[in-house]
Every structure is written in structure tokens, then in C-alpha cells.
Amino acid sequence: MARLEGLGLPRDYQPSDDEPFMNDRQLAYFRAKLLQWKADIAAESKATLETLKEGPIQEPDQTDRASSETDWALELRTRDRQRKLISKIDSALRRIDSGDYGYCEITGEPISLQRLEARPIATMTLEAQERHEREERISRDD
């Protein structure tokens, strides 16, 4: 993440359990990670829009055309998921600003750095997330 150097962090900085949880360095790291993720999604979306502007699918063979249309439908579904992901990224950035980032919204406990590294938009500890999913599954079965 090249942005880290601009934030006063070394390029190879990785949050560690050896430092205070959600200190300024960790918050800057996760802010940069989230902003880069958001920028990458925006760039991919822009590329998709540019391709769509090129016009309709021009496949002479019906099978090829159907395959291309299926590919585009999948691409558009992916972009829709990413649009929703951007709102989750924005929410995580707001939690950084408010001082709530990195803490479980259910228990208030710290979310592990490994979980935040893998899923920087996480709002619950792994245990709270698993409990939530079990409860959802049980209520769906009722």
C-alpha cells in the first residue's frame, strides 16, 4: 500500500498485537487500506461502464451471444455487490472517525487484527458473527 508512506507509516507496516489496539498507526493503516479498496472498486466500475458504452453485444452466433450476455449479467451483478460494499467501506471509515472502528458492535470487545486484515469492514468479532449467523439460521428454520 503505497499510501502508507504518505501517512508517515513505513511501506511494510503491519498492525501487531505488540502495540496498543487501534492506536493512530493502526487506524491510519486501516483507513489507507479501506480507501485503496474503495478506489480499486471505483476503477473497476469505471472500466465496466466504458465497456458498456461501446455498444450492444455483436456476436453473430446465438450461442456466443448468449454466453456474452450471461457474462455481462454476471459482471453487472458483481458491480451491484461492489456498490453495496462501498457503503460498508464508507461506514467503516465513519467508525474510524468516531473511534468505534475495530470494536464489536455487539459485545464491545476488540475485533482481532487478523480478522480486520482479512475483512476490514468487519463489525463483529468472529464469535459474535458466528452466534449471529446461528441465530439467523434458527429463526429462518422456524
Q: 110 phi and psi, to 5 degrees?
A: -65, 140
Predicted confidence (pLDDT) per residue in 105-138, tens digit: 999 999 999 999 999 999 999 999 999 999 998 8
Predicted confidence (pLDDT) per residue in 18-45, tens digit: 999 999 999 999 999 999 999 999 988 8
CATH code assigned to 3-100: 1.20.120.910
Cell of 139: 429463526
Report the C-alpha dihedral over residues 59, 60, 66, 71, rounded to 10 degrees: -10
Q: 103 phi and psi, to 5 degrees?
A: -115, 140
Task: Name the 3-class secondary structure at 16.
Answer: coil
With 70 as the cut, is the pLDDT of residue 90 above it?
A: yes
Q: What is the pTM of this model?
A: 0.78
Q: Give residue 56's region: left, alpha or beta (phi > 0; psi -120 to 50).
A: beta
What does the alpha-carbon distance between residue 17 and residue 86 come to, in Å, rounded to a whole number?
Answer: 28
* pLDDT given for residue 45 in this prediction: 81
Q: Which residues have a Cβ under 8 Å from the Cβ of 113 and sit 6 or more positions away?
A: 15, 16, 17, 26
DSSP secondary structure letter of residue 20 = -
Cα dihedral 23, 25, 115, 91 sign: positive
Spell out the domain ranges in the chain. Answer: 3-100
